[in-house]
Protein backbone atom coordinates (compact mmCIF):
# COMPACT_ATOMS: atom_id res chain seq x y z
CA UNK A 1 0.00 0.00 0.00
CA UNK A 2 1.46 3.39 -0.96
CA UNK A 3 1.58 6.32 1.41
CA UNK A 4 0.30 9.73 0.44
CA UNK A 5 2.89 12.43 -0.25
CA UNK A 6 1.87 14.44 2.80
CA UNK A 7 2.66 11.58 5.19
CA UNK A 8 5.98 10.52 3.62
CA UNK A 9 7.95 13.09 5.62
CA UNK A 10 7.05 11.28 8.82
CA UNK A 11 8.84 8.15 7.64
CA UNK A 12 12.17 9.85 6.75
CA UNK A 13 14.98 9.87 9.30
CA UNK A 14 15.35 13.13 11.25
CA UNK A 15 17.55 15.86 9.79
CA UNK A 16 21.04 15.99 11.22
CA UNK A 17 21.60 18.70 13.81
CA UNK A 18 25.38 18.52 13.46
CA UNK A 19 27.14 20.89 11.11
CA UNK A 20 30.79 21.08 10.16
CA UNK A 21 32.56 23.87 11.99
CA UNK A 22 35.64 25.20 10.23
CA UNK A 23 38.69 25.62 12.40
CA UNK A 24 40.40 29.01 12.39
CA UNK A 25 43.73 28.92 10.61
CA UNK A 26 46.85 29.35 12.69
CA UNK A 27 48.99 31.07 10.07
CA UNK A 28 50.16 34.08 12.08
CA UNK A 29 53.54 32.66 13.11
CA UNK A 30 54.03 31.22 9.62
CA UNK A 31 53.41 34.65 8.09
CA UNK A 32 55.92 36.15 10.51
CA UNK A 33 58.49 33.53 9.45
CA UNK A 34 57.79 34.43 5.79
CA UNK A 35 58.63 38.06 6.48
CA UNK A 36 61.85 37.10 8.30
CA UNK A 37 63.00 34.81 5.49
CA UNK A 38 62.05 37.38 2.83
CA UNK A 39 64.30 39.94 4.56
CA UNK A 40 67.15 37.44 4.76
CA UNK A 41 66.77 36.38 1.11
CA UNK A 42 65.37 39.36 -0.84
CA UNK A 43 66.19 37.86 -4.27
CA UNK A 44 64.45 34.55 -3.56
CA UNK A 45 60.80 33.71 -4.12
CA UNK A 46 58.16 31.57 -2.50
CA UNK A 47 59.60 28.33 -3.92
CA UNK A 48 62.93 28.86 -2.17
CA UNK A 49 61.15 29.88 1.04
CA UNK A 50 58.99 26.74 0.78
CA UNK A 51 62.15 24.61 0.57
CA UNK A 52 63.62 26.38 3.61
CA UNK A 53 60.45 25.82 5.61
CA UNK A 54 60.48 22.12 4.70
CA UNK A 55 64.08 21.90 5.95
CA UNK A 56 62.98 23.54 9.20
CA UNK A 57 60.41 20.79 9.70
CA UNK A 58 57.22 22.56 8.62
CA UNK A 59 54.90 20.35 6.57
CA UNK A 60 53.34 22.74 4.07
CA UNK A 61 51.70 22.47 0.71
CA UNK A 62 53.42 24.61 -1.93
CA UNK A 63 50.06 26.07 -2.96
CA UNK A 64 49.42 27.26 0.58
CA UNK A 65 52.87 28.84 0.69
CA UNK A 66 52.17 30.67 -2.57
CA UNK A 67 48.76 31.87 -1.37
CA UNK A 68 50.15 33.19 1.92
CA UNK A 69 53.10 34.76 0.08
CA UNK A 70 50.69 36.73 -2.14
CA UNK A 71 48.42 37.68 0.77
CA UNK A 72 51.41 39.10 2.62
CA UNK A 73 52.28 41.17 -0.45
CA UNK A 74 55.82 39.83 -0.57
CA UNK A 75 57.68 40.23 -3.83
CA UNK A 76 61.12 39.41 -5.13
CA UNK A 77 63.39 42.41 -5.40
CA UNK A 78 64.13 43.02 -9.06
CA UNK A 79 67.74 42.91 -10.14
CA UNK A 80 68.99 46.31 -11.25
CA UNK A 81 70.87 45.94 -14.50
CA UNK A 82 74.01 47.97 -14.97
CA UNK A 83 73.80 50.24 -18.00
CA UNK A 84 76.38 49.21 -20.57
CA UNK A 85 77.98 52.20 -22.26
CA UNK A 86 78.77 51.74 -25.89
CA UNK A 87 81.09 54.21 -27.47
CA UNK A 88 83.46 56.79 -26.13
CA UNK A 89 83.03 58.73 -22.96
CA UNK A 90 84.83 61.77 -24.41
CA UNK A 91 82.34 64.43 -25.54
CA UNK A 92 82.51 65.09 -29.26
CA UNK A 93 83.86 68.44 -30.43
CA UNK A 94 83.47 70.20 -33.71
CA UNK A 95 86.54 69.77 -35.89
CA UNK A 96 85.90 72.91 -37.98
CA UNK A 97 83.32 75.71 -38.04
CA UNK A 98 79.87 74.46 -39.11
CA UNK A 99 80.72 70.81 -38.27
CA UNK A 100 77.92 69.13 -36.37
Regarding pTM above 0.95, the answer is no
Q: How far apart are CA 34 and CA 60, in angstroms?
A: 13
**Predicted local confidence at residue 49, as pLDDT:** 94
What is the chain written as a DSSP string? -PPPGGGGGGTSPPPP-----PPPP--HHHHHHHHHHHHH-TT--HHHHHHHHHHTT----HHHHHHHHHHTT--PPPPPPPPPP-S-SSPP--SSTT--
Q: What is the pLDDT of residues 22-42, one digit of tens each?
A: 887 788 888 999 899 999 999
Domain segments of the chain: what residues? 26-74
Amino acid sequence: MSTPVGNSSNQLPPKSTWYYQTKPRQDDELRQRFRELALLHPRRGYRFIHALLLQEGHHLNRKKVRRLWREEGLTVKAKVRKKIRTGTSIPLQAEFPGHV
